[in-house]
Structures are given as C-alpha cells and as structure tokens.
Structure 1
Amino acid sequence: MTDPVQSHARRLHFDSLVFDAHADTIAIDVVEGRRHLDETGRGGHVDLQRLAAGGVGVQIFSLYVPPTVPTPHNALRALTILDALAAEVQRSPDRIVWIRRAQDLEEARRSRKLGVIASLEGCEVLAGSLAVLRTLYRLGVRAAGLTWNVRNEVADGVGEPRAAGLTAFGKEVVAEMDRLGMVVDVSHLSEAGFWEVMEIGRHPVIASHSNARAICDHVRNLTDDQIRALARKGGVMGINFFPGFLRKEGPATLDDVVRHIEHVVELVGPDHVGLGSDFDGISRVPQGLEDPSHLPALTEALVRRGYDDLAIRKILGENFARVFTAVLGASAAPLAPPQG
C-alpha cells in the first residue's frame, strides 16, 4: 500500500532546490586522481549519480588546503584544486553549471543541471595579499571560509588556544569580499572573529557546515547567541553531518540532523538553516544519510514532524539560494586587469 506521506515528501523533495553548502570531494579525491564526478562506484560520498539520486541542485565544493602545506605552496595547491574543478565541469558540460553570477544560479534551476560553487576553506592561500583574493575571484571563487581550525593571516580558527579575532588584514579581506560580491563563511572561525564579522560585514554571511552547540557541545558548533546574530544578519547555517558534531556519544542518525535543524528553527525560524553535509571531508556519516542519495529521507522526516512545504523548501535550499543571489548580485563592477 502506498504511503501518502512518503509519496508527498518525495514529490516535494524533487520539486525543491536542494543546496548543499559544503563538500570536500574535489579537494580530497578528484585532485588526487582517485576518481571523477561522472564516475560511480569509485568510493567516497559524492558523485554526479548520487547527487542526482538525492535531488541536489547546487553543491559548494571546497578548496581545502591542509595547514601542513607551507606558504607559498598552499596557493599553488588551491589553484590545482580549482583547476581540477574546472576540468570536472568541462567533462560534463551537459550536467554541470559553474555558478559565478546570480544569473548562473537561475540557469542551474532552469536547466536542472548541477550548479557548482567554488569556495576557499581557509584564507592561508592569500598569503596576506588582497591581490590573490581578487585573482581567485576572477578565476571563479565565490565564497571563502576565513579560517580552518588554526591561525592564519586573517584570523584565529576555533582550534587556536589564544582565541583571538580578525587581524587588520582579516578586516580588509571581509571588506574586499563584500565589495567583490563573495560570500563570507564563518565555519571554523574563532568566536571572537565571528563577532567581528557580524559587526563589520555588509552582506549576509553563512556558516556553511556548523551545528548547534546547545544540542552538541563542540567548539565547532555555534552557540544560540551566534545563531541569533547570524539570523539578524540575514545569514544561513548549514547543518554538518559529521557524527562528532551531531551528538557527544553513540552513533549518529538522520534524526540527529533533524534535531539540530529543529533547534535552529525553534530559535530563529525556518529562514536561517540549511544543509552543509561536509561529505568527503568526514570519516563517518550518520545512519540514514550515508551519501547524497539518501537526502529524500531527510525531507520525509521533516514532513512527518509537521513542517509545511514552504519551510521545507527553505531548509533544503532556498535559504542558501537567497544569500548567494543577494551577495553575487551585489558584485562590484568588473575588475580591471592588474596594472604593472
């Protein structure tokens, strides 16, 4: 017998924009030549087949460079990852759209192709230079996490014992990202740095893959005060699927992901939470959300908990789409070629 709730949830899911704000597939696997996005059965979490099976319409891929890579080699590594992403787009032009402008996001919706966004994960690669930031923007990067867990020239990460905020250069980076039309990402950033971004940033910001500390007391998760501030800024946080950020003990499940979503909704409403799986950057996954193909089960869980269709559409992707449409649409005039 057909389950009407399940049938409705499935129709709703595949009629919605599903936007995942963080995956490390390119930086971890593709750049190393282990597999391509158009190949399946080669391991990992994310490929085009599983993204399609999960109805994913937009995927942010990180340009993650481990802190063990020294300057200036980390900039070369970031460019190599960006080149690998460009090669994946070229391999599947009938299935992928690279999102650089707000119009590209609309094109991805209209064409039902996968929209991909390139994002820095840690600004070590800038080596203290706004020129590098502008160059990465020219090459298609449209978001940046200011830090990973450690300190860099921009700010301290959540794992830095001194827990300082933004440097003078970091404040320049935030201002320049605002001017260019790049989304600022505060996941991994120290709490002091978070509050400074809230104060000086002009546009909505995101926490691409961070959870609620009230549900799981981990330094990588946001406090209720931070979540409220992010919401006041018009921003969005993407719920991370890493079990260690979902619960303190025991195996994590899809229900734990829902618990974090529900906490944010109860705190600030349904306009400021989304998905930030961290697929291919995490060693363990929650039961029931083993890869993107299982995402329809999340929609079903939200339907069964009484969320209406509009709220579910926002959580699945419209919230992140709103931020990127606004910030990319606020882009400065085209950059002139470098002088000298």
Structure 2
Amino acid sequence: MTDAHFLDSHFLIDGHLDLAMNALDGRDLTLALDALRAADPVPDQTATVTLPEMRDAQVRVCFGTLFALPASPDTPGDTDHAGARAQALAQLDEYHRLQDAGHLTLLTSAAAVKAHLNTLDAPLGVVLLMEGADPIRDADDLPFWVERGVRVIGPAWGRTRYAGGTDAPGPLTPAGVDLVTAMRDLNVTLDASHLDDHAFWDAAQIGPRMIATHANSRALVPGNRHLTDDMARAIAAADGVIGLVLLNRFICPLPEGSLDRVPLTALADHARYYADLIGWDRVALGTDLDGGFGAEKTPAGIDRYAHVPRLLDELPTGVRQSVAWGNWARWLTTHL
C-alpha cells in the first residue's frame, strides 16, 4: 500500500493533535501520562496525550496545530484578528520551546520528514498545521507564517473571516478566495476538515493541494463536520489523505456532550467505508485525542494514547501499516 521504506516499520503518524494548545492550558506534556493525570489543570477531561505517552505508542510524526479558539458565550477566546494572532504566536513559541529542550523536532520539508523517519530514537517530529485561519491578517500575510514553518492551513473551524465551517454554513469569503489562491501559489496545503460544503467546493475549484487531517464520513454520521462521498473523492483526486477522528460523536450519531463509549468497530466502519470509496491508500490516523475532550469521549478500549494501535487490530491485516503510518509518510515525503 505504500512505496515508503524506512529503517523501522512499526510506528504511527498522527494527522492531528493540539499539543501547544494543551501546553498553554497548563498541561506539562513532558510528564508521563499518569503523572499529568494526577495533577491535571484541565477539568472534566481525562488526559490521553503527553510526549512520553506518544513515544510509548511509537508515534514518530504528527501534525501539530496552531489553534486560535474563537470566543463564545461559554468559552473565552479571540474576538478579532489580533487576538487570534497572539494565540497562534504563543503556541508557535511553545513548539519552539519544546524543540529547544529536545522534546520534538519541527519538520518543514519532504526531505526533512524522510530523514527524520530514517533516524531511530529521534524525538517526535511535528508538522505545523494552522486550524482556523483567523491568525492570518490577509493573503499578503501568508508568507510570514510559511517562513515560520506552517505547511498546512484549515481556513475554517467554525465560521472564520475566510470561510463557512462546522455548524456555520457558508462559502469562502472574498478574503478566503484570496487566501486559498495564495496557498495554492505558495504550495501550502489546505486542510478541508472543518470546511462547510459551500466553502469546500469553492476551495476545490481554486485547486490547492488538499487533505483532511481529521474527518470521518458523513455517510455514517450526519452533519457538515464530516465529509460527503464527493468531498472524499475530491481529496483523493488531489492525491490527499484523510485522517480518522477518535471523538465518540464523530464516530456514531450522538448528542454533543455524550459520554457514551462507542465500539472501536464503529470507527473501523469509517475506515472501511472510505476504503471502499477511495481506497485504503487514502485512509490514515487523525486522532485529535487532545482536541478539547478526554478519555470519557473516546471509543471503548482507547483510554490513553498508547491504546491507539488497538484500532489497527480491527482492520484487515494487509492495510494496517498503511493506515498506521504509510499513507501519511507517502504524502509527507511527496508533498510537504
């Protein structure tokens, strides 16, 4: 399923983790998971991710986000571009702090990813992904972020200045058209995970490189947070890859806030559905396990990151390596 060959073939690549967001929420990601859980400053979310925990799970590379949380009636966050930019820059600084301390390595090119995957005992490799483009002032500001290592951008989360998004229907705005056009011209990849349908097709028409770092199938769970069959086909046609999300209500139709533990077989159903639609070489991991929820909302049997490989046991033997790392490795070493 993959043409990539590395010194070690027993590892994971994760398409979506919010490491810096969690660090700035007060979580010490350098601790063992049990130590973090014993003194976790984030309430009501049993942590599943730390850097030692990821090492135990043999994660070699992940896409790490710069995520500027928009303000809402229930949560503090940014209310304008300046606030979003400040959040993203603080998270970027956190990644550099962790890199300076030897806990991770920021990867900005296909060659760097290939070298990293061929280096045994290297720290976690992180590819920077901006989730929600509000930190970017405008299209002319894109080179600033590219120079600082951002290689993938999702224009939306909910609604942004650039696009309709999750539970916020709408097209690309004029500023969004300019931004996606600039992304195409600078070879910055578009993450379609949170785009509303209208915005997705507007972006696809512009023709940037496209992936979905963490998006399950709308055929199995309704709502514009998930990909339609045609969206999945469009991502595959762009030589993209789709990461599977481990949040319970993105796996089975459940109300927001549900603590029902869904079976791992239900997540495997999403993998098989995508595989039947676009092939196993397009299916990967995008766990989002630290994305604002804890072990209470993960599938049954996934109580910590080290349990993620249990998903692979639910897949056909011949495709497990491709889903675990091969498909993302192929994409990263071809397109980053």
TM-score, normalised to structure 2's length?
Answer: 0.84
| Aligned-partner residue type, residue 300 of structure 2 | Q
Instruction: Specify the SS of the correspondent of 1:123.
Output: coil
Q: How far does residue 209 in structure 1 lie from its aligned partner after superposition? A: 0.9
Summarize the Cα distance change of 1:37–1:197 in structure 2 as closer, same or farther, 3 Å threshold: farther
Q: How far does residue 253 in structure 1 lie from its aligned partner after superposition? A: 2.5
- Equivalent position of 1:244 in the other structure: 249
| Aligned-partner residue type, residue 246 of structure 1 | I
Report how many residues are paired: 302
Find 2:281's aligned residue among 271, 277, 282: 271
- Equivalent position of 1:173 in the other structure: 179
Supply the RMSD in Å over aligned alpha carbons.
1.8
Equivalent residues of 2:20, 2:65 under 8 A apart? yes
Instruction: Specify the SS of the correspondent of 2:134.
Output: helix
The question of 1:183 aligning with 2:189 is answered yes
| Aligned-partner residue type, residue 193 of structure 1 | A
The question of 1:149 aligning with 2:154 is answered no
| Aligned-partner residue type, residue 109 of structure 1 | L
Equivalent residues of 1:274, 1:314 under 8 A apart? yes
- Equivalent position of 2:20 in the other structure: 26
Within 5 Å, give how 1:198-277 maps onto structure 2. Answer: 198-203=204-209, 205-249=210-254, 250-277=260-287
The question of 1:285 aligning with 2:279 is answered no
Q: How far does residue 38 in structure 1 lie from its aligned partner after superposition? A: 5.0
| Aligned-partner residue type, residue 201 of structure 2 | W
Find 2:199's aligned residue among 176, 193, 212: 193
TM-score, normalised to structure 1's length?
Answer: 0.83
In the alignment, the residues of structure 1 paired with residue 10 and residue 143 of structure 2 have an alpha-carbon distance, to the nearest angstrom, of 33
In the alignment, the residues of structure 1 paired with residue 163 and residue 331 of structure 2 have an alpha-carbon distance, to the nearest angstrom, of 23
Deviation per CA, 1:152-175: give whole Å up to 9, x if none.
221111321xx2211222122122
| Aligned-partner residue type, residue 90 of structure 1 | D
In the alignment, the residues of structure 2 paired with residue 297 and residue 34 of structure 1 have an alpha-carbon distance, to the nearest angstrom, of 26
Summarize the Cα distance change of 1:222–1:35 in structure 2 as closer, same or farther, 3 Å threshold: same
Instruction: Specify the SS of the correspondent of 1:290.
Output: coil
Q: How far does residue 180 in structure 1 lie from its aligned partner after superposition? A: 2.3
In the alignment, the residues of structure 1 paired with residue 208 and residue 88 of structure 2 have an alpha-carbon distance, to the nearest angstrom, of 27
Unaligned runs of 5+ in 2: 1-7, 38-46, 72-77, 255-259
Equivalent residues of 2:29, 2:49 under 8 A apart? no
- Equivalent position of 2:54 in the other structure: 51
Q: How far does residue 137 in structure 1 lie from its aligned partner after superposition? A: 1.1
Instruction: Specify the SS of the correspondent of 1:111.
Output: coil
Instruction: Identify which range, 54-63 or 244-253, moves more after superposition.
Output: 244-253
Equivalent residues of 1:242, 1:282 under 8 A apart? no
Percent identity between the two aligned chains: 27
Instruction: Specify the SS of the correspondent of 2:326.
Output: helix
Deviation per CA, 1:205-224: give whole Å up to 9, x if none.
11111101111223311111
In the alignment, the residues of structure 2 paired with residue 38 and residue 111 of structure 1 have an alpha-carbon distance, to the nearest angstrom, of 24
Unaligned runs of 5+ in 1: 1-13, 329-340
In the alignment, the residues of structure 2 paired with residue 49 and residue 96 of structure 1 have an alpha-carbon distance, to the nearest angstrom, of 11
In the alignment, the residues of structure 1 paired with residue 56 and residue 148 of structure 2 have an alpha-carbon distance, to the nearest angstrom, of 30
